[in-house]
Amino acid sequence: MKRDVHFKKVYNDRDLDWLTFNARVLQEAADPTNPLYERLKFLAIFSSNLDEFFRVRVSKLRQLKKVDKAIRRPLALKPNKNLKSILAEVDRQQELFGQIFRKQLLPELSKKGIYLLELDAFDKEHRNYLERFFVDHIQSHLQLVTSLKASGGIKDGYIYICVEFKESEELVFLSVSVPEIGRFIEVPHPSEGHHLVFLEDIIKLNVPLLFPGESIASLFTVKVSRDAELYLEDDYQGAWITQIYQALEQRQEGQPTRLLYEGGMPNRVRKSVAKQLGLGKADMVKGGSHHNFSDFMEFPDPIRDPSFLYSPMPPLEHKDFKANPNFFKLIREKDRVLHFPYQKFGYIEDFIQQAAMDPKVSTIRISLYRIAKDSALTQALLKAIDQGKDVSVFVETKARFDERNNLDWGKIFEERGGTVHYSFPNVKVHSKILLIGRLEHGTIRNYAYIGTGNFNAKTAKIYCDHGIFTADVSITKDLEQVFLVLQRKVLVPRLNNLLVSPYNSRLGFEHLIQYEIEQAQLGQEATITIKMNSLEDKGMIDWLYRASQAGVKIKLLVRGFCCLVPGVKGLSERIEVISIVDRFLEHGRIYLFEHGGDQKMYLGSADWMKRNLDHRIEVLAPVFDKEVFEELKEILMLQMSDNVKARKRKQNAENLYVKQRKDEKGIRSQYEIYQYLKKQK
């Protein structure tokens, strides 16, 4: 295909399309086929997602508003326009959120005899009990904030009750956080059923006890979102980063980004709070009387009804590792693959534990991005250090929201005697790689693991990921080069097979797509099938557009935001995009290229985002083993065939469920994958 073919470039806005993804989470809360408490959890996930979105993405846009237009113009930055569109969509989704909660889920809870009561529904028995409960269990824990400008002020993400007094214009704020008793309290009542109330409603009921002699004018709940650290390197390059940072040098980290306030709050109170926080009208978001729905992840189940939750899907044994726990022997024979959460994450922990105790093992090298606070994996690494192994750990200290925990673990490894390497300036290490050196027949043989997900047992229970064990020298030799980069022993790795950002992954993917284009032009049936979290990089999107124009059939499974617009005549007619939101979070990355009977597949940590290709160290491995290849392809095809939880993306960014034909079997891919792996022998 000629490289000078012109077409109108069409892209979805990243932030608006992310909101489209969060709308899919909301769809799961509205889906009556999901168990009741799982629907509550989807509301919690939606709420938590939105909080992080405001802390990170909206914060960035708010800060960019302060940058001189002369700097913004060449980068096509229009933060005011984007913020307006974002806030309008957030308002629409918040309205839908409230309808799902009040008109669907609360009535369903009531049918089961579980009543979540609000303040205006308290009767005399409730009030008498809750006054005693407040004095005995809550009052001494409350913290009073009298000035939002003071150091400390209102904490990020916490709920506060704004108290307005009649005799003065003074406002005070009461924190709503008593970890000892939680957010939801059951109240004894003579009538049938279980009566639950919000902690903040108990506090509201008893505010007069805290201010004797004062007349209360109004009580309303509020929550402030504060911005997280800016990582501009994820989105911009070179001199532009320097100029933007210089323009924002007076910026204070943790500045308020959004005020979520209870509907009905008087305008005078809103203005006063906004003034103290330095927020404008656009930063004020009206909500219901209760915030922080992320707490519904822990909503009490007083009747222990099994139907409230998904049926158990215990992690499966791997057919090979179960029969023979000698990891080195098995991996020497052939490559092996694991799929989480369907199979046990413990195999990775056991592999490192076995290496720690094996006298022939001399070195263990691993990159850690999000480290669990305590896990069998970290204990196995410490055990290896104690056993005298040369343990080298790369710890990413810029993993957002996990910075402190990762630093703490780095210090522990160092104090124990391990070698610890930390982050590079302007580059995150996002790869999920492990390399173990073992003395065999007088020489060191390397055993590797390359995955799509973090070395984290907790997230492995809910994130769908894949990982390959291999002793293939063509892979392990390249991986040695990657670890030399992490250890700062070489600047540029010498690579033959791995795709490693920011060195050769972009060019490697471009060559793979170009080859499919050439095959299509020769009359071959060429297809590209990709599963990833996010698709944002315009360069890669343009390559997919070119491939579509050349006749390549393209199927994409993009769980999160997707800036590519499918189905545009003359541009992306041969591109189909689906997204799956279900019981587990889709997190894997698989890239499959096929033509004329030939196939190539890569698996690894990188999405097609600019940051993943240009500003992070990511590792993707070719899948050489035939059995592993077919297993991964079968799983990928099951997901592409999903007609229960898949949504087909259209030009208008709607979230339309893939429709089952009348004669078609329902395929819920996450359940089908579990059964597929369960049948393996």
* Contact status, residue 583 vs residue 39, Cβ threshold 8 Å: no
User: Is the predicted pLDDT of residue 292 greater than 60, yes or no?
Assistant: yes
Coil vs helix vs strand at 59 = helix
d(CA 503, CA 615): 10
* Contact status, residue 447 vs residue 335, Cβ threshold 8 Å: no
**pLDDT at 276 (0 to 100):** 86
Q: Helix 376-386 vs helix 346-357: angle between axes, to the nearest 10 degrees?
A: 10
Q: Which residue has the tokens 């290229």?
A: 593
Residue-wise pLDDT tens digits, 408-455: 888 899 999 999 998 877 788 999 999 999 999 999 999 999 999 999
Residue-wise pLDDT tens digits, 202-222: 999 999 999 998 899 999 999
Report, as an integer, the average pLDDT of 508-536: 97
Q: Domain 500-680 classified CATH 1.10.760.10?
A: no
**pLDDT at 571 (0 to 100):** 96
**pLDDT at 585 (0 to 100):** 98
More confident position, 286 or 45 = 45
User: Is the predicted pLDDT of residue 282 greater than 70, yes or no?
Assistant: yes
Among residues 194, 421, 430, 595, which one is catalytic? 430
Average pLDDT over the chain, rounded to whole?
90
**pLDDT at 79 (0 to 100):** 74
User: Is the predicted pLDDT of residue 659 greater than 50, yes or no?
Assistant: yes
Report, as an integer, the average pLDDT of 184-206: 93
User: Is the predicted pLDDT of residue 246 greater than 60, yes or no?
Assistant: no
Entry pTM: 0.91
Q: Is 463 annotated as contributing to ligand binding?
A: yes
Domain map (residue ranges) of the chain: 14-308, 319-497, 500-680
**pLDDT at 232 (0 to 100):** 45
CA distances for 230 relative to 18, 128, 488, angstroms: 18, 49, 26
Q: Is 400 annotated as contributing to ligand binding?
A: yes
Question: DSSP string of 221-286?
Answer: EEEEEE-----GGGT--HHHHHHHHHHTTTPPTT-EEEEEEETT--HHHHHHHHHHHT--GGGEEE
Q: Domain 14-308 classified CATH 3.40.50.800?
A: no
Q: Is 310 annotated as contributing to ligand binding?
A: no
User: Is the predicted pLDDT of residue 239 greater than 80, yes or no?
Assistant: no
* Contact status, residue 122 vs residue 203, Cβ threshold 8 Å: no
* Contact status, residue 29 vs residue 42, Cβ threshold 8 Å: yes
Q: Which residues of 73-84 are buried (b: 16+ CB within 10 A; e: fewer)?
A: eeeebebeebbe
**pLDDT at 284 (0 to 100):** 84
Q: Is 406 annotated as contributing to ligand binding?
A: no
Report, as an integer, the average pLDDT of 350-379: 93
Q: Helix 199-210 vs helix 124-133: angle between axes, to the nearest 10 degrees?
A: 70
pLDDT class of 474 with cuts at 50, 70, 90: very high
430 is a catalytic site residue: yes
**pLDDT at 134 (0 to 100):** 96
Amino acid found at 351: F
Q: Which of 550, 546, 575 lies closest to 562, judged by CA? A: 575
Q: Domain 319-497 classified CATH 3.40.640.10?
A: no
- Using a 10 angstrom Cβ sphere, with 0-12 exposed, 13-18 middle and 19 or more buried, the burial of residue 405 is middle
Same fold, 319-497 and 500-680: yes
**pLDDT at 7 (0 to 100):** 60
Residue-wise pLDDT tens digits, 614-623: 999 999 999 9
User: Is the predicted pLDDT of residue 640 greater than 60, yes or no?
Assistant: yes
d(CA 99, CA 120): 19
d(CA 491, CA 287): 51
**pLDDT at 2 (0 to 100):** 44
**pLDDT at 250 (0 to 100):** 42
Question: DSSP string of 181-201?
Answer: T-SEEEE--SSSSEEEEEHHH
Highest mean pLDDT, choosing among 167-171, 232-236, 396-400, 544-548: 544-548
Q: Which residues of 276-304 are buried (b: 16+ CB within 10 A; e: fewer)?
A: bbebeeebbbebbbbbbbbbbeebeeeee
Beta bridge partners of 564: 11
User: Is the predicted pLDDT of residue 634 greater than 90, yes or no?
Assistant: yes
Report, as an integer, the average pLDDT of 626-641: 98
**pLDDT at 525 (0 to 100):** 94
User: Is the predicted pLDDT of residue 299 greater than 70, yes or no?
Assistant: yes
pLDDT class of 596 with cuts at 50, 70, 90: confident
User: Is the predicted pLDDT of residue 526 greater than 50, yes or no?
Assistant: yes
Q: Which residue has the tokens 């007076």?
A: 250
**pLDDT at 401 (0 to 100):** 60
d(CA 528, CA 556): 8
d(CA 507, CA 493): 15
* Contact status, residue 444 vs residue 437, Cβ threshold 8 Å: yes
**pLDDT at 237 (0 to 100):** 44
d(CA 105, CA 116): 10
CA–centroid distance for 510 within its chain: 27
User: Is the predicted pLDDT of residue 402 greater than 80, yes or no?
Assistant: no
Residue-wise pLDDT tens digits, 138-164: 999 998 988 776 556 778 888 999 999
- Using a 10 angstrom Cβ sphere, with 0-12 exposed, 13-18 middle and 19 or more buried, the burial of residue 504 is middle
d(CA 547, CA 343): 36
